[in-house]
Structure 1
Amino acid sequence: MSNLNLSVVILSYNTKDVTGRCLAKALAAKEYCEKKLKNKVEVIVLDNASADGSALAIKKDFPKVKLIAQKENLGFAKGNNLVMQKIKNPFILLLNSDCYLQEESLYKAIAYFRVNLNCDVLGARLNYASGLLQPSAGSLPNILNIIFWILGLSLLPFFNMIVSPFHPKEKKYFAKAHKTGWIMGAFFMLKKKVYDVTGGFDENFFMHMEEVEWCKRIWQKGYKIWYVPQVEVVHLHGASTNFDLNASFSNELKGIKYYLKKHYGVYYFILKPVLILGLILRMIAFSLLRKNKRARVYLEGLKAI
């Protein structure tokens, strides 16, 4: 594998300060990677019509960055697809604007591709700002593990022996490199040929679950997805989307609904009553615990399915 050139793609939307810190870290990682591997790394930012002066700040403070300033917010899926289709380099990293690379992050990721030819898509270990692990990979959703997840059964170790969890929480799942069903889109590195063959994100998703659905099609085409904890980044989780728990969970449920209808057809309508039951049980449980804010999250979730 002689050509190790990489394009780093960052979407920005009203996160001027956070994006600035992200770019400073990304450029430091770029320099380190180029020095170690003698490759070329470009950093591209697509600004999704930010109203906080993000585009002007990037143009002024980071002249080495390629800036694409949109006049409308394209969302995560469409925005990334727009950039990826124009890239010529053999490797692409999709990086959230609230992710901070370590100096060696890009080098370690590209080096892993070089030694593991069976790796086509790579996800990193994501850490919260506190340093704690952020779960960021899991098994692809199916009828059974979605039932276990919505009913809370996947939190019990016994049930995880029966079915591979959609949202694993156990630390051992994230302890070493292994193949995985999906990785989080906050750090999503891939060979360009994977995009060329699979067509990228389904643009019917605006936000949430789009990377999981793409991972499904990536596996269907015979490519391999790896979770590699040797590559670490800090993910502020939500800073790039002005995080709102109600909206986030509702959007995830909408994404799950679309995913299941697309890949499982009529079985979604069999599953829907279980989803409703699970949300009602969660709402009752958190109400009894006097955690009314969390209970309202599940009430809003009912509207999404």
Structure 2
Amino acid sequence: MEFLFLLPEESAETVNLSCIIVSYNNSTPLRNCLESIYHTLREISFEVIIVDNSQNDSGMLSLKESYPQVQLIQNTQNVGFAKANNQAVRSAKGETLLFLNPDTILTDQAIEKMVAFLKSNADVGALGPKVLNEDGSLQYSCRRFPTLMTGFFNRYSLLSKWFPDNPYTVNYLMKDFSHDENREVDWLSGCCLMVPRAVFEKVNGFDEQYFLFNEDIDLCRTISQSGYKVIYFPSAEITHYVNTSNSKVPVAIIIKRHQGMKHYYGKHYAKNPLAKIIVNFAITLRCLSQLAFNLFKETPTRDTFK
């Protein structure tokens, strides 16, 4: 399916950067994110577009009052992360697009450095900063493309926690280099991902078959297949506050995540029917195991999944 990402007809005016944030019951961390945006971006023209996929986040009204210049798109239902981002791009006026999670904090000049790098490197189609945890430690935000083993040795899996230096985890998370130098990589985390608008349009944006998770992997792969580089850029740094609680995850989120995995492998790998059956079976087993473990987790006081 082909999508059109055109500038709004009512205004031909463009800005250097469109900051796009999809929120789902995330108004509390979003306030800190917005504060960091308006505090750190000084040398470029920009706009902020928020797509609210929740229908009962009372904090959004207060945010709109505090930041009236923000464009807020209120959805009547949760349409998912990929579709909401595409929705925002259709309203955006930026020459460059910055996709941000609401639980990120920008540091001084980080985004302006990224914009300048893209302008000086026309062959780059996606750019991501060094991402830090709340305690200042490195968050592995650039990775190699997932394989079947990644389902068992990913960033949050028990096997990776028990055996952090196993070869599968080291390879997938790219723990085999210092993360202090520019490097062409397979894919970058969507928590802070910068893409030239022209490139985003060329690849038809995010694949809306993904509801949540995997869409950043797919986008980077499509950008790479279109002849552009995907670059990890540690000269720019941000902080990403990842939720590490042991709270119960909504069942629908677990199921949709694994449906996304099936879509990704079917789209990019499964040319062999037998291999497709094996992969789908393995993903189904992983989904069932996570649903089982989820039964023993604490019930959250509020959904905070974006």
Give the TM-score of the pair, scaled to structure 2: 0.77
CA distance in 1, matches of 2:213, 2:77: 19
1:270 maps to 278
Write out per-residue CA displacement over residues 269-290 of structure 1, whole angstroms, 9 at most, x where no aligned residue.
233566678899xx8xxxxxxx
The gaps in structure 2 that reach 5 residues or longer are 1-13, 298-306
Q: Secondary structure at the match of 1:203?
A: coil
Equivalent residue number for residue 296 of structure 1 = 293
Matched, 1:24 2:35: yes
For 2:173, the aligned partner's letter is H
TM superposition shift of 1:245: 6.1
Instruction: Check 1:100–1:50 CA distance in 2 against 1; reply closer, same or farther (3 A cut).
Output: farther
Aligned to 1:254: 259
Q: Hey, which of these two has a bigger chunk of helix by percent?
A: 1
Does 1:41 find its partner at 2:38? no
Q: Which amino acid aligns with 1:20?
A: R
Give the equivalent residue in structure 2 for 1:72: 77
Q: Which residue of 1 aligns with 2:16?
A: 5
Question: 2: CA distance between counterparts of 1:278 and 1:74?
Answer: 25
Q: Which residue of 2 aligns with 1:165?
A: 171
**Residue equivalent to 1:114:** 119
1: CA distance, partners of 2:258 / 2:285: 14
Deviation by residue 1:147-192 (Cα, 9 ceiling, x = unmatched): 87689699556668xxx9333344x252211111111110010000
**Matched AA of 1:167:** L
- Is this contact kept in 2: 1:145–1:165, CA < 8 A? no
CA distance in 2 between counterparts of 1:243 and 1:183 reads 26
The structure-2 alpha-carbon separation of the partners of 1:86 and 1:242, relative to structure 1 and needing over 3 Å to count, comes to farther
3-state SS in 2 of match to 1:42: strand
The residue aligned with 1:286 is: none
**CA–CA separation in structure 2 for the residues paired with 1:279 and 1:76:** 20
Offset of residue 206 of structure 1: 0.9
Structure 1, residues 36-55: CA drift from partner, whole Å, max 9, x if none? xxx31111111223412233
Indicate the residue corresponding to 2:91 in structure 1.
Answer: 86
**Quick one: distance in 1 between partners of 2:135 and 2:190?**
20
CA 1:121 to 1:4, structure 2 compared with 1: closer, same or farther past 3 Å?
Answer: farther
Q: Which residue of 1 aligns with 2:100?
A: 95
Which stretches in structure 1 are left out of the alignment for 5+ residues?
A: 284-292, 301-305
1:209 paired to 2:220: no
User: Alpha carbons of 1:51 and 1:294: their partners in 2 closer, same or farther (altered >3 Å)?
Assistant: closer
TM-score (norm 1): 0.77
Select 1:57's aligned residue among 58, 62, 68: 62
CA contact (8 A) 2:258 2:283 kept: no
Q: How far apart are 1:17 and its partner, in Å? A: 1.8
Structure 1 residues 195 and 276 mapped into 2: Cα distance closer, same or farther (>3 Å)?
closer
Say if 1:46 and 1:67, in contact at 8 Å, map to a contact too: yes
* Aligned equivalents of 2:230, 2:49: Cα separation in 1: 24
Distance (whole Å) between structure 1 residues aligned to residue 110 and residue 215 of structure 2: 24
Contact 2:199 2:223 in 1 (8 A): yes
| Total equivalences in the alignment | 276
RMSD, aligned CA: 3.5
Instruction: Give the aligned residue type for 1:12.
Output: S
Q: Secondary structure at the match of 1:165?
A: helix
Deviates more, 1:61-70 or 1:122-131: 61-70
* Superposition deviation, residue 249 in structure 1: 6.5
Contact 2:261 2:283 in 1 (8 A): no
- 1:129 aligned residue (113, 134, 138): 134
Change (3 A) 1:45 1:273: closer
Report if aligned partners of 2:47, 2:94 keep a CA contact under 8 Å in 1: no
